[in-house]
Structure 1
Amino acid sequence: MGLTYEDEHVYDNTTFNDFAFSMINRYPNPQALHIKSVDILSTSLVAISGTNNTQHKLKFTRLIRKLGSLPRWTPSILRISDSFILETITVNPVDKVIDSRQQNIDHLNFLKVIEVNNYKYNADKNEVKQQTKVEFISNIEHGVRAKSVWERLSSRVHLGSKIEKFCVNSYHKRIMKSREGIKWKVEYFKLKHGLASL
């Protein structure tokens, strides 16, 4: 099982450095009040191929703790107050590309959400193009002999596919808020740098 959401977006009037800095530091922002905490788990510099180890890209992984957002019709045992997301971001200053991958690390048997983003800077247009692909995968089996009480119940109500459809239908609103948060952070750093130069 599984459903996919794909989308594109353009952030205009920005430099790569401002955008990369905003991506790295995008929490907190007014559009992400559901984010409770962000912890850096690891950072590393990875040599960029073709540069004879003279230039590197930044790679870091962080753990994001946020408010859970499952719908009311899910079983109460699954409506957790917190959820944890593992995010890996790679910033390539040579090609001016940022890649990110997010995935929930809890309730994987119930629903796995994998979000992959590619941000590519266009110097001629002074803009960043974002390409997003999100996969929603429920491991709740349907159409097979259910072994546990939970599997039998979920097969009867098609809970797996219902959850996937809910996530796909609601994800556009979520990603729009995320983009507004990034835009806010870009403008915040522009203002901060402008005031610092006075």
Structure 2
Amino acid sequence: MVKIYENGFSYDYTWHAVTLAYFLRYPNPYSTHVISSDVISRHIDDTGCLHTVRIHHKRGKLPAALTRLLPSISDSYILETSKVNPRTMVMETETRNLDHTSILSVIEQQTYTPSEAGDITNVRTTVRFDSRFGNRRSQNQPTEAEIQEAHQQQQEKRGLFGFGFGWGKQGVQRTIEQLGARRTAEHVGSSTKGMQLVLDRLRKIGLIGARGVERVGDGEVGWKAVWRRVREEIPKAEGIDAGVGV
């Protein structure tokens, strides 16, 4: 059982600027759920392509509809791989969650290519949602009998969370996949706004400004302090919902 979400978007910036902004997109006030980002490996192959592997630590709330059956999940680790080909001007990226995959596996693939004129960068996104909930029961997952018992107790005639199908294993899997796709669609705007903010910083104040290094008097604030300010102060000042994820 797999659900696919697809989306296309264009940035009014050159391919070189957008690919650079991709690696600088955290921190930004639209992604306050990202706790940290670390480079695991980076190398240039024989064809001149740049390969990078990073891991992102994210924190967020589980959708309320899932808290009835699933354990409390707040932290997640995301593996990101990317390949930048400067000759063909194509960047391909893939992100996937490393934990909670028995509940929902999310694999996002993106392709960044320039327009014919070269002043616009087109992004094509495909996200694959695959829930194997109940196939291999972990210690924290309810059994089929427990799911059915919850169904009887709740007496929800329309099925799990109002999606129109029952509380059986396949119904739960479809619901989890639909919730994942819906949440992704809702957060597309925040993701593009975060990238747009980094691109604007690159244009106005250059690479150092885009990375978030700020000067206070004669000194510099380190990245940890900047990260804290981005996550706490800027969203409040600009009226941005700090709970919005990307």
Which aligned segments of 4 or more residues in structure 1 are displaced greater than 2 angstroms? 75-79, 146-151, 153-156, 193-196
Counterpart of 2:62 in structure 1 is 70
For the Cα contact (< 8 Å) 1:115–1:132, is it kept in 2? yes
User: Following TM superposition, by how much is the alpha carbon of 1:114 offset from its aligned partner in structure 2, in angstroms?
Assistant: 0.4
Aligned positions, number = 185
Aligned AA (1:64): H
Matches within 5 A, 1:95-106: 95-106=88-99
**Which stretches in structure 1 are left out of the alignment for 5+ residues?**
49-55
**Structure 2 CA distance for aligned equivalents of residues 147 and 15 of structure 1:** 47
User: Following TM superposition, by how much is the alpha carbon of 1:61 offset from its aligned partner in structure 2, in angstroms?
Assistant: 0.7
Q: Deviations over 1:33-53 (max 9, x none)?
A: 1100001111111232xxxxx
For the Cα contact (< 8 Å) 2:39–2:54, is it kept in 1? yes
**Structure 2 CA distance for aligned equivalents of residues 125 and 22 of structure 1:** 16
User: Comparing both structures, which one devotes a greater share of its residues to helix?
Assistant: 2
**Which stretches in structure 2 are left out of the alignment for 5+ residues?**
149-165, 210-246
Alignment TM-score, normalising by the size of structure 1: 0.84
**Structure 2 CA distance for aligned equivalents of residues 136 and 31 of structure 1:** 23
User: Following TM superposition, by how much is the alpha carbon of 1:73 offset from its aligned partner in structure 2, in angstroms?
Assistant: 2.5
Counterpart of 2:21 in structure 1 is 22
Q: 1:118 aligns with which of 102, 111, 126?
A: 111
For the Cα contact (< 8 Å) 2:105–2:129, is it kept in 1? yes
Distance 1:135 1:195, change over 3 A: closer
Structure 1, 151-160 or 80-89: larger mean CA deviation: 151-160
**Structure 1 CA distance for aligned equivalents of residues 26 and 208 of structure 2:** 21
**Structure 2 CA distance for aligned equivalents of residues 193 and 15 of structure 1:** 15
2:19 paired with 1:7: no
2:148 paired with 1:135: no
SS at match of 1:150: coil
Distance 1:154 1:83, change over 3 A: farther
Q: Deviations over 1:78-101 (max 9, x none)?
A: 331211100111111111111110
Counting aligned pairs with the same residue, the percent is 26
**Structure 2 CA distance for aligned equivalents of residues 120 and 141 of structure 1:** 40
Aligned AA (1:81): S
Counterpart of 1:53 in structure 2 is none
Alignment TM-score, normalising by the size of structure 2: 0.68
Alpha-carbon RMSD across the aligned residues, in angstroms, is 2.5
Counterpart of 2:200 in structure 1 is 187
Distance 1:151 1:117, change over 3 A: farther
Counterpart of 1:51 in structure 2 is none
